[in-house]
Amino acid sequence: MKKNYTLIILFLIYFNISFANDLDRPEYSSSWLNENIIKYNWKPTGSFKARDGILVQKLKKGEWQLYCALLIKDTICWLP
């Protein structure tokens, strides 16, 4: 019985720590590069071309990095 309690406590501690990082995510727009820079105060740090030739803009806010792919009619932003 003690082993079961120990396993349950270790399980709860492990998942509490692993999900805590998701709660501290900064706000960002997933579809507009300019809104991320102006409204959410992300700082541009550079860019690169992906394998398909798509331009990807790198943004930074504290320790977080945000990537925004600039397509012809759309922008897609994501946190790694």
> With 60 as the cut, is the pLDDT of residue 6 above it?
yes
Tell me the mean pLDDT in the region 63-79: 93
Residue 70 vs residues 4, 18, 22, 28, 34: alpha-carbon distances, Å:
51, 32, 26, 16, 11
Identify any residues that bridge with 73 across adjacent strands, giving them in sequence order: none
**Which has more pLDDT, 64 or 11?**
64
Q: How confident is the model at residue 17 (pLDDT cuts 50, 70, 90)?
A: low
- Which pair of tokens denotes residue 51? 């394998």
φ, ψ for residue 32, nearest 5 deg: -150, 115
Reported pTM = 0.69
Tell me the per-residue pLDDT of 23-62, one tens digit each, with 9 for 90 and over: 678 999 999 999 999 999 999 999 999 988 999 999 999 9
- Which pair of tokens denotes residue 17? 């720590």
